Amino acid sequence: MDRRQALTFLGAAVACPTCAAIANASEDKGGQSWGYEGEYGPERWGAVSPANITCSIGRQQSPIDLRNPIPAELSDIQVHFRPSKLEVLNNGHTIEVVVPKGSFMVLDGMRYELLQFHFHHPSEHLVEGSSFPMEAHFVHKSAKGDLAVLGAFIAAGEEHPMLKRVWDRMPMEGGKTVRDATIVRPSDLLPDDHEHFRYAGSLTTPPCSEIVSWIVFNEPIEASSAQIQKFAGLFPLNARPVQPMNRRFILGSF
C-alpha cells in the first residue's frame, strides 16, 4: 500500500454506508473490516487483509507507552495553523475535522501540511503506564510524502470552547459529513507548553504503515467530563493498545 492510499485510509474519508449498522467495525475499500474489539479487533488487523500485514509484523508500531525519554536538544515545533470553516465527518472510527490547505508546521526545517485532526477515547499513547481520557491527533504530510502527527492528550477539566463548536455539529452517524460556517482554530487544541516526546512510529489504524514521525505533547489540554462523555457515547473505545518498543528510543525536549 503506498502512502497516498495509507493517507486515504488514515483520513478514512471512506464512504461507509454500513458503518452505523455494524457499530465498531467498518469496511475499507477492499471490503475487509476492522474495529477495536472482537474478531475485527487490533489483534486481528494484520490477519483480516494482506494490506494490513504491517500491523502484525511491523517493528515500529504505534502507539507506545512514553517513558524514560532521552533528554535532547530538539528544535521547537513551529505551528502555523489557520482558522477555517468547519468540515467534520464521522468515518465510523472517529470524528475527524478536515483542514483546508494552508495550515502547516515546520519540523527540523521540513514543512508538513496539516490535513486533518481527529480524536481517540481513551488516549492511545500512555505516559509511564497511564492513559488520559482522550487524545487528539493532528495529521501532517510533507511534500515528500512523510507523515508527522502531533498528539495532544485531553484531560478532564474545563469545558473546551472549540471542542464545543465541533461537538455541537459532529455527525452521530458513520459516513456522514457536516459543513458549517462555524470557524475552527486548530491551534486552540494545542497546549501552551510545547514540551514533547518524539519517536519513529506508525499509523495507529490499518494499514499501520511505519511512516510517521510522532510528536506527543507532555502537557494535556482540557475538556469537560460532559464533552468527554459525549464523544465516548459515540466511540466507547477507539484506541489501539500500546505496541512493543523493540529497538527504538524516545526523545524528550524536557
For the CB of residue 33, give the shortest distance to Zn ion in the complex, in Å. Answer: 19
Active site residue 204: yes
Radius of gyration of the chain (CA): 17
Active site residue 137: yes
Q: Which three cell numbers stand for residue 138?
A: 493532528
What's phi and psi for 230, nearest 5 deg?
Answer: -65, -45
C-alpha distance across the termini of the chain, in Å: 36
Nearer CB in complex with Zn ion: 55/68: 55
Report the relative pairing of strands 110-120 and 176-184 from DSSP bridges: unpaired
Active site residue 140: no
For the CB of residue 71, give the shortest distance to Zn ion in the complex, in Å. Answer: 27
**What contacts 175, CB < 8 A, 6 or more positions away?**
14, 15, 16, 17, 19, 20, 90, 91, 92
Q: List for the chain the helix, strand, coil content (%; round to 5).
A: 20, 35, 50
Per CB under 5 A, residues contacting Zn ion are: 137
Q: Out of 27, 96, 124, 135, pick the active-site residue.
A: 124
Active site residue 135: no
Q: Are 178 and 86 within 8 A, CB to CB? A: yes
Active site residue 80: no
- How far lies 204's CA from each of 64, 89, 102, 124, 209, in Å? 10, 19, 25, 8, 8
For the CB of residue 120, give the shortest distance to Zn ion in the complex, in Å. Answer: 5
Q: Which residue is at the shortest CB distance from Zn ion?
A: 137
Handedness of CA 165, 222, 19, 100 (dihedral sign): positive
Nearer CB in complex with Zn ion: 137/198: 137
Q: Out of 140, 194, 196, 204, pick the active-site residue.
A: 204
For the CB of residue 204, give the shortest distance to Zn ion in the complex, in Å. Answer: 5
> What is the spatial distance between Cα 86 and Cα 68, in angstroms, rounded to a whole number?
38
Q: Out of 27, 54, 96, 118, pick the active-site residue.
A: 118
Nearer CB in complex with Zn ion: 183/201: 201
Active site residue 194: no
Nearer CB in complex with Zn ion: 40/117: 117
For the CB of residue 73, give the shortest distance to Zn ion in the complex, in Å. Answer: 28
Q: Out of 27, 120, 135, 194, pick the active-site residue.
A: 120
Nearer CB in complex with Zn ion: 137/160: 137
Catalytically annotated residues: 93, 118, 120, 124, 137, 204
